[in-house]
Chain A
Amino acid sequence: MGRGMADRPKNDFDVPNAPASGEAAGMEELEAWFVREVLPLEARLIQFLRRGGRSNSDVEDLRQDLYERVFDAARDGIPKSTRAFVFTAARNLLINHVKHEQVVPFTSVEGLEDLNLAIDEPAPDRVVIARQELRRLQAALDKLPERQRRAIVLRKIQGLSIREIAERVGAAERTVEEHLTEGVRTLASILYRDTLDEEQAR
């Protein structure tokens, strides 16, 4: 509020809400949107892509293809309903994928009609999310394999660098780095997928 003073030269303070013109600003907006609206759908999305007995590797590749398409499409304008947009793209991708599979499992396209259910679900209350975040992180940490957890704890809670962690646990820096990279991947899978278990438990 109160910005855009006529008597001042334009600078990045004066036009913060201007539509993204440069690549960088657009990219930040896209990234924020992706984190806020697309990633929380991952649990449902994975459940949906798993139908038909695909291998985990196939499911992950489909997820990646989908994210790529959704992200590219959003460059032209962020969709009004991300949920509908993402699940429609998922359905199209899956239909396309099924066509190209040599052997089509009988159950592959079952569950497409469940899409509407997924689309109509209300978004979770953001305030509730904020309150639950620490507890969720705690639960996620508890699920990490031992060495990954130790590395993440030392990095995030103790604030140590990779070198300091290596010294402290008596391991090579390269090994600590591996525990951290595996750790962040596992953490992402837990944070973005386990929410479904919570929902179903309720």
Chain B
Amino acid sequence: MTDANLNSPRMAGRANLADARASEFIVRCYDRDAWSEADQAELDAWLAESSANRTAFIRLKSAWLRANRLDALRPMSQRSGRSAQTPYQPGIKLAAVVTLLALLTGSGWFLSRPTIQTFSTKVGERSHIQLSDGTRIELTTDTVLRVATDGTYRKAWLDKGEAFFDVVHNNRHPFELQALNYRIVDLGTEFSVRRDTGRIRVTVLKGSVRVGTSDIRVRNNAVRMIAGDVAIADSRSISVTRKSTAEVADALGWRNGVLVFRYAPLAEVAAEFNRYNAIKLVIDDRQAAKEIISARLQATDVAAFARMAHDFMGLQVRKYGDEIHISR
């Protein structure tokens, strides 16, 4: 795509109509000032009309949400109590906009921001990170975490996988983690966040955290969690459940390289192992997938799992290349 195309007027055509409508919905529905229940109903009806509408909406929404990462570039001082408190001063504000645009168009404006470091683990790896403020972070298998710090600013993004945070609390500069469309803010705490497709899970071991989102379409869009709480949040809602100390410890077993299952279906166990291992477990039939098991196993010991499936569950286990197939 050339610049000429970008600036040319929009073409006639079906795709253009769907894109035009989808972009209107997106711009309005992510703007608090301009979205009502009636708008939501209108959007739902439009989406239900055709998959053409739906894919147009998904495509533009994904671009819009990707642009949320630009928020990493917002200066800290402007995060709270922004414009509302400032009297309207057109001259000054315009100057500010011009300066900002000058910064943006100059090359390297990204580099002048707080340094963002990326930490990642491969399948089967674990890793420990210590930040300069003393905060400790543990990454499990197949995880990507970005961290931005500049002394006053502490923010991290969990792009995939799962990480455990032991945060050195600072009232003036809370530690903030972004995952999906949620912000998890520490209130003095040890907690773990796991990100799966379209969903996050937050487990609090000590202290408390606040989980919130600026996405107005999420029901109960801010919750405070304390030790023992586990929250599951997807793009639409957050639900919090209380767990026993033992259950929380089990859920965090990965910190010691252990996976703990209690009455879990085999399909789920296999999926969990597959996060940690290059050799993948494939459950070949539905009946076997539903078998319920309880076990405590080394995350990287696929062989132990295969033995258990064969010896204790009486299942057939066959290895083909990098896959272990399990069936009845």
Residues of chain A whose beta carbon lies under 8 Å from any beta carbon of chain B:
1-6, 11-13, 16-17, 24, 28-29, 31-32, 34-36, 39, 46, 55-58, 60-61, 63-65, 67-68, 71-72, 126-127, 130-131, 133-135, 137-138, 141-145, 149-150, 152-164, 167-170, 177, 180-182, 184-194
Indicate whether B260 reaches chain A with its CB closer than 8 angstroms.
yes
Q: How far is the CA of A133 from the CA of B271 in the complex (A)?
A: 28
* 4 shortest interchain CB distances as A-B pairs: A188-B63, A60-B15, A181-B23, A67-B55
Q: Interface 1/0s, chain B 27-58, versus A by CB < 8 A?
A: 11001111000000000000000111011101
CB contact between B97 and one of A13, A56, A150 (< 8 Å): that residue: A150
Inter-subunit contact A17/B262 (CB<8 Å): no
B interface residues (Cβ-Cβ under 8 A, vs A): 1, 3, 5-7, 10-16, 18-20, 23-24, 26-28, 31-34, 50-52, 54-56, 58-60, 62-64, 66-74, 78-79, 82-83, 88, 90, 93-94, 97, 100-101, 104-105, 109-110, 116, 118, 120, 144, 146, 159-160, 197-199, 201, 230, 232, 234-236, 239, 241, 247, 250-251, 253-254, 259-265, 267-268, 271-272, 292
Q: Is the CB of A190 within 8 A of B230?
A: no
Q: A56-B5, A64-B15, A137-B69 are in contact. Are A161 and B31 (CB under 8 A)?
A: yes
**How far is A19 from B63 in the complex, measured between Cα atoms in Å?**
28
**In the complex, A5→B263 CA distance in Å?**
6
* Chain A positions within 8 Å of B19 at CB level: 60, 185
Q: How far is the CB of A104 from chain B (nearest CB, A)?
A: 20
Cβ contacts under 8 Å, A46 to chain B? 1
Closest B residue to A189 by CB, please name it: B1
Q: Is the CB of A142 within 8 A of B15?
A: no
Interchain CB contact under 8 A, B74 and A162: no
In-complex Cβ contact of B51 among A16, A72, A143, A190 (8 A): A72
Chain A residues with Cβ below 8 Å from B272 are: 1
Q: Which A residues touch B264, using CB under 8 A?
A: 1-4
A130 touches B247 (CB 8 A): no
Interfacial chain B residues near A58, Cβ < 8 Å? 13
CA distance A43 to B211 in the complex (A): 36
Cα–Cα, bound, A164→B101 (Å)? 17
Enumerate 7 A-B pairs (CB-CB under 8 Å) in ascending A order: A12-B239, A31-B58, A61-B13, A142-B104, A154-B97, A184-B63, A184-B67
Partner of B109, one of A56, A72, A138, A159: A138
B262 touches A187 (CB 8 A): no
Chain B residues positioned under 8 Å from A5 (CB to CB): 247, 262-263
Q: Which chain A residues lie closer than 8 Å to B24 at the CB level? A: 177, 181
**How far does the alpha carbon of A64 sit from the alpha carbon of B11 in the complex, in Å?**
14
Partner of A28, one of B50, B51, B234: B234
8 Å CB contact of B198 from A32, A163, A169, A193: A32
Asked if residues A39 and B62 are in contact (CB atoms below 8 Å), the reply is: yes
B62 touches A153 (CB 8 A): no
State the CA gap A46–B62 with chains docked (Å).
Answer: 18
Please tell me which one of the listed residues A1, A55, A185, A191 contacts residue B66 in the complex, with CB atoms under 8 A apart. Answer: A191
Residue of B at shortest CB range from A67?
Answer: B55
> B122's closest neighbor in chain A, by CB?
A127
Q: A1-B272, A4-B265, A71-B55 are in contact. Are A162 and B33 (CB under 8 A)?
A: yes
**Residue of B whose beta carbon sits closest to that of A160:** B83
B58's partner among A13, A35, A167, A181 (CB-CB below 8 A) is: A35
| Given known A-B contacts A57-B11, A153-B101, A177-B27, A2 and B250 have beta carbons under 8 A apart | yes
| Residue from A24, A64, A181 whose CB has the most chain B CB atoms within 10 Å | A64
- B78 close to A158 (CB less than 8 A): yes
- Is the pair A156, B68 in contact by a Cβ cutoff of 8 Å? yes
Complex Cα gap A135–B116 (Å): 12
Which one of B18, B71, B241 contacts A156 once the chains associate, using CB atoms below 8 Å? B71
CB-CB nearest in chain A for B230: A13
A184: contacting residue among B34, B60, B262, CB under 8 A: B60
**Min CB distance, A57 to chain B, in Å?**
4
Instruction: Please give 14 more A-B residue pairs, beta carbons under 8 A apart, in addition to A130-B118, A181-B27.
Output: A4-B262, A4-B265, A16-B232, A29-B197, A34-B58, A35-B62, A67-B56, A126-B144, A145-B6, A145-B7, A156-B71, A157-B71, A159-B82, A169-B94
Do the beta carbons of B292 and A190 come within 8 Å of each other? no
* B15/A1 in contact, CB under 8 A: no
Q: Is the CB of A130 within 8 A of B15?
A: no
Q: How far is the CA of A194 from the CA of B261 in the complex (A)?
A: 45
